[in-house]
Structure 1
């Protein structure tokens, strides 16, 4: 599934590049106002921090919410206390778009993450051109030289890479490239199976100075509390917010 999603995202980016060539997107990226410092926004604090996600659907759960106005939802997240906003931009299975990210960026003052299956420099420049402050890099989807070069490009453009892992080896690979914002995804993106204990098993491999992000398998405040107890500085939440009352759910999660 991960290979299919990544290949599809790259194909869609190649299609977009026929309309907006790399040189154009690169110029637009460099003209953008500087990215917000996501590492500062997500630094460990007395309470857990939340990255709240704009997410319409997923391959594992199908349609979650229509979200006709992603900007309004993101603005509500910010008012509700989220430290950053994640925007799904993958078109085929998650029904997202770069237009969603641009709309969100226009209304919030906190960091915005482009969450997609990024595997090419073009996609990184697209992210910055659309106003992203963070870009997701999935270790399992990328060979180490590609992961390292994309991480360098993200950083060079003033953004922060959220480097997603799912095993001890992947955590080590993330640290080898100097990642300072590392996510552990409870969902195996090859099988889409969940392991809620995975974060706790891997968190100890992340040294001081690296911001620890727990991803997936979050339905209740108890799930957030479990991640927090296991060492999470930040929890990324999507489905639980978009399928319920987002502000009420967010307030419960932030009270952990």
Structure 2
């Protein structure tokens, strides 16, 4: 049975061929952004990675008319730790142009959110100003995960490694990943359950120099408190903020005190 993730990866293969056919050019010199890891490690409150997401395979159109620059500036002003920009076009209606526009106007870290399976995507992420990229364990072989992680590190990019179960967490730890995200969304069915964070957090080495991010499915203050108590340093929030009529109030309501350190 073909899953949503299978369909996305198949489309990525086509996109990579198109990117490689283009003449790659660095169109501007991005400013150096602060370290997301250091920011999350030093914070006393749960931090918010605020996402610009026009659409998704599970929700359809969320906010197709969003102005990425205005949205990003509102996120930054409201106290976001980082801005996540979807750059996938077929499934999420994003683009590298969105990424470029956002990175040129904000001072905080910017995550290129995409299904990265080839070095050329990392080149485009960096060229358009990203300071952080996403690598999804479920989308990559162990060998490709390792080589892409090393390549991004050599480009002076921070890497958010996304996992969905304990086995994938072990792969992330073997990479010595410092920023690890637990996606509460099953990428095969796109169903969401915060218990993913609860289950995986039990095995997370909080005593080591790493931070945990809970991604997807955060809809309320209770949700924020729930994952914070499990040891999360940050949450990645997209749909809730994209639909919000008051971004500042919504975002700040989620910045709860960090839970007791898990040892």
Q: Calculate the TM-score normalised by the size of structure 2.
A: 0.91
Note the residue ranges of structure 2 that are not aligned, 5 or more in a row.
258-263
1:242 aligns with 2:242: yes
**1:1-256 → structure 2 map (5 Å cutoff):** 1-20=4-23, 24-25=24-25, 28=26, 32-34=30-32, 36-207=34-205, 208-245=208-245, 246-255=247-256
Give the alignment's TM-score, normalised by structure 1: 0.93
More helix by share: 1
Query: How much does 1:13 deviate?
Result: 2.9
Give the drift of 1:5: 0.8
Q: Contact conserved, 2:224 with 2:256, CA < 8 A, in 1?
A: no
Deviates more, 1:135-144 or 1:10-19: 10-19
The structural deviation recorded for 1:84 is 0.2
- 8 Å contact from structure 1 (residues 70, 100) kept in 2: yes
Q: Deviations over 1:3-60 (max 9, x none)?
A: 211221231232132222xxx35xx399655454221122252110010000001000
Between stretches 73-82 and 42-51, larger displacement belongs to 42-51
Indicate the SS of the match to 2:254: helix
Instruction: Specify every segment of 5 or more residues in structure 1 that has no aligned partner in the other structure, as ranges.
Output: none
Q: What is the CA-CA distance between 1:147 and the residue it aligns to?
A: 0.2
Runs of 4 or more consecutive aligned structure 1 residues displaced over 4 Å after TM superposition: 29-35
Stretch deviating more after TM superposition (128-137 or 34-43): 34-43
Alpha carbons 1:35, 1:131 under 8 Å: kept:
no
1:127-151 deviations in whole A, cap 9, x for unaligned? 0001000111000000001000101
Aligned length: 251
Identify if the C-alpha distance between structure 1 residues 44 and 168 changes in structure 2 by more than 3 Å, giving closer, same or farther: farther
Secondary structure of residue in 2 paired with 1:254? coil
Distance 1:103 1:185 in 2: 26
- Residues 174-206 of structure 1 show CA distances to partners (whole Å, capped at 9, x for unaligned) of 111111100001101011122211101111322
Give SS of 1:158's match: coil
Counterpart of 2:41 in 1: which secondary structure? coil
For 1:30 and 1:175, locate their aligned partners in 2 and report how far apart those are by CA, in whole Å. 34
- RMSD value over aligned CA atoms? 1.7
User: How far apart are the structure 2 equivalents of 1:45 and 1:131?
Assistant: 24
Query: How far 1:222 sits from its partner (Å)?
Result: 1.1
